[in-house]
């Protein structure tokens, strides 16, 4: 009799390249084994793209990944691993009673009884033992949160806030071109398998190219140094992963943004993911077609070489550094240098400087910074050296525009919403690349218009980390969709837990009926 472990090991031993998993008809819960093995195959090797039907066969019985051939679709497994129990109450006593009442209940039962109220909390648990432990912790932690007007959270992801901020809306925030990393979102499509078909259709048969499956989900150890050398590939991957996060949060769970913004290239991703540019593939194709991101500002940096008067083929000695210092001190340190620039202000105490190598070294000596680290992707954006590529940047972003009503799309060039009646997003985006990326100013201006919850839809959680420093003395919530080292299922559910407790309007039905009958 084949166990789940044996079935999984058999599949992994094949290199994960086949489309069929064979097992014993009397295997332990054979349907479940097929589901688990296919899910873990995705978790380890990434989504099956462009390899024909995604099928598991156990004892001659056939189970397909979209799940339409069997009553237990593969899509049901991932959201069954970690379970979300929402509870609510109009008072502290009512909420605690609802939490205590979860004992012995299924997540479906908890969901059917739940309705938004003055206070909401979420318990995350994998099994009855987890549930009992989280309930016991809630009995202590939730009263303390009420006393301090603060929050309660556990390592397992359960969450409650006594000061919900959802009434002011949510800002969708998109990180930059450096947000992807090998393994990011390996199981994202398994959260809702129809999204894989949609992604493949949108990319017109080029899904493997635009997600760069071999580089994003290598079968062996990842070479991160080489991964970050191809900026066009990073752009493709950043667009693709942020788009999938947006589909999941905005369409599957019906989270509606009041505002949206992006960090650096994240501004272009924002416009593509939220439908202002309705065909994200056009943006990806322009990255391929126009040499700005491949050779003009990255790679050989031909645009910089020409501006510096270097001969054809000469190497551009360009460095980029993240420095823990204030913008004022950084600006004073680079002022004597002709070809060194203050490019990014991440927080009031962290900046990025970039430019000619020896000049950067002299500037770092003047700052006397105790902590300075090289940027994995040499930054040639957000400075006057970028302006020589302005026309090409406009061309890359000259796409069909369909304004999305009800959302304030912030331009980082001007730190205010784009006026689509008067401004072209191609020009506002190009201008943003030619100016210092002042992230604290952008965040504070968004905050002043209402939204106090920032939902980061992309890899890592750099923007959330910076926001926590920028708004440290003000009520806010910085919520990442990705937690590196955790499955996407865990990251998404932890984000949903926080949104629910903050009173953000959303729909959770997809957790309990993830693949409705057709």
- 320 and 287 in a single domain? The answer is no
Distance CA 426, CA 383 (A): 18
- 337 and 195 in a single domain? The answer is no
pLDDT of residue 196: 85
361 domain-assigned = yes
- The DSSP letter of residue 311 is P
Distance CA 457, CA 462 (A): 11
Distance CA 266, CA 400 (A): 18
Three-state DSSP at 441 gives helix
Tokens of 115: 């309705």
243 domain-assigned = yes
469 domain-assigned = yes
202 Cα distance to chain centroid:
20
- 426 and 324 in a single domain? The answer is no
Element (H, E) at 116: none
Contact call for residues 399 and 279 (beta carbons, < 8 A): yes
pLDDT of residue 6: 47
Instruction: Give the residue numbers spanning the domain of 202.
Output: 168-296+402-486
- 273 and 406 in a single domain? The answer is yes
Spatial CB neighbours of 104, under 8 Å, sequence gap ≥ 6: 128
Contact call for residues 348 and 394 (beta carbons, < 8 A): no
pLDDT of residue 369: 67
CA angle 414/415/417 to nearest 5° reads 95
b/e for 99-112, b at 16 or more Cβ within 10 A?
beebeebebeebbe
197 domain-assigned = yes
Task: Of 69, 63, 9, give the one whose Cα is nearest residue 32.
Answer: 63
Task: Of 46, 514, 44, 427, give the one whose Cα is nearest residue 253.
Answer: 514
Tokens of 83: 């379970």
The CB-based long-range contact list for 467-471 (8 Å cut-off, 24+ gap) reads 467/173, 467/443, 469/347, 469/348, 469/349, 469/350, 470/347, 470/348, 470/439, 470/440, 470/443, 470/444, 471/443, 471/444, 471/447
Considering Cα of 274, then 276, then 279, then 281, what sign does the dihedral take? Answer: negative
Distance CA 222, CA 236 (A): 18
Tokens of 319: 């460095």
Tokens of 176: 């930059």
511 domain-assigned = no
- 277 and 231 in a single domain? The answer is yes
Distance CA 383, CA 320 (A): 12
pLDDT lower than 50: segments of the chain? 1-31, 37, 40-41, 43, 51, 56-63, 65-80, 516-518
- 272 and 176 in a single domain? The answer is yes
- 251 and 285 in a single domain? The answer is yes
- The DSSP letter of residue 310 is P
pLDDT of residue 50: 58
28 domain-assigned = no
- The DSSP letter of residue 249 is I
Residue linked to tokens 């992230």: 439
Tokens of 109: 């039962």
pLDDT of residue 212: 93
Angle between helices 280-289 and 231-246 (to 10 degrees): 180
Distance CA 75, CA 516 (A): 10
Contact call for residues 355 and 339 (beta carbons, < 8 A): yes
- Phi then psi for residue 170, to 5 deg, are -125, 140
DSSP calls for 82-110: SEEEEEEESSHHHHHHHHHTTTT--HHHH
What is the DSSP pairing of strand 170-174 with strand 259-262? parallel
- 468 and 419 in a single domain? The answer is yes
90 domain-assigned = no
CA angle 462/463/464 to nearest 5° reads 90
Q: How many folded domains does the chain comprise? A: 2
342 domain-assigned = yes
């Amino acid at each position: 009799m084949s166990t789940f472990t044996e079935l999984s090991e058999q599949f992994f031993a094949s290199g994960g390249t086949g489309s069929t998993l064979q097992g014993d008809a009397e295997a332990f819960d054979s349907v479940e084994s097929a589901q688990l093995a296919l899910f873990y195959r995705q978790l380890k090797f990434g989504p099956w793209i462009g390899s024909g039907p995604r099928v598991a066969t156990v004892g001659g019985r056939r189970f397909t990944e979209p799940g339409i051939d069997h009553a237990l679709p593969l899509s049901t497994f991932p959201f069954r691993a970690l379970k979300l129990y929402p509870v609510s109450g109009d008072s502290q006593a009512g909420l605690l009673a609802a939490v205590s009442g979860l004992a012995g209940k299924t997540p479906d039962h908890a969901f059917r009884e739940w309705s938004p109220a003055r206070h909401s909390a979420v318990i995350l648990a994998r099994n009855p033992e987890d549930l009992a432990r989280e309930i016991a912790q809630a009995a202590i932690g939730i009263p303390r949160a009420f006393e301090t007007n603060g929050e309660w959270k556990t390592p397992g992801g359960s969450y409650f806030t006594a000061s919900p901020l959802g009434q002011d809306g949510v800002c969708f925030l998109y990180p930059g071109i450096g947000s992807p990393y090998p393994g990011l979102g390996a199981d994202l499509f398994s959260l809702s398998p129809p999204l894989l078909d949609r992604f493949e259709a949108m990319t017109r048969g080029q899904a493997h190219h635009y997600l760069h499956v071999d580089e994003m989900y290598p079968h062996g150890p990842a070479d991160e140094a080489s991964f970050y050398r191809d900026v066009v590939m990073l752009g493709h991957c950043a667009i693709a992963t942020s788009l999938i996060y947006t589909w999941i949060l905005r369409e599957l769970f019906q989270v509606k943004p009041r505002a949206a913004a992006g960090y650096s290239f994240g501004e272009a991703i924002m416009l593509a993911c939220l439908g202002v540019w309705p065909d994200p593939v056009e943006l990806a194709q322009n990255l391929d077609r126009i040499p700005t991101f491949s050779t003009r500002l990255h790679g050989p940096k031909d645009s910089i070489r020409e501006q510096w008067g270097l001969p054809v083929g000469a190497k551009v000695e360009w460095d980029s550094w993240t420095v823990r210092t204030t913008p004022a001190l950084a600006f004073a340190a680079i002022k004597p240098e002709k070809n060194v620039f203050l490019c990014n202000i991440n927080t009031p105490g962290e900046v990025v400087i970039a430019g000619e190598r020896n000049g950067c070294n002299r500037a770092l000596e003047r700052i006397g910074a105790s902590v300075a680290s090289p940027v994995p992707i040499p930054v040639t954006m957000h400075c006057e050296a970028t302006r020589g590529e302005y026309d090409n940047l406009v061309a890359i972003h000259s796409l069909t525009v369909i304004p999305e009503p009800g959302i304030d799309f912030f331009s980082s060039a001007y730190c205010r919403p784009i006026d689509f009646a008067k401004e072209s997003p191609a020009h506002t985006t190009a201008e943003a690349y030619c100016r210092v990326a002042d992230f604290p100013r952008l965040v504070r201006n968004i905050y002043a218009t209402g939204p106090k919850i920032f939902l980061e839809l992309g890899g890592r959680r750099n923007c959330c980390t910076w926001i926590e420093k920028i708004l440290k003395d003000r009520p806010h919530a910085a919520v990442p969709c990705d937690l590196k080292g955790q499955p996407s299922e865990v990251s998404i559910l932890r984000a949903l837990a926080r949104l629910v407790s903050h009173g953000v309007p959303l729909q959770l039905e997809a957790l309990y009926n993830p693949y409705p009958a057709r």
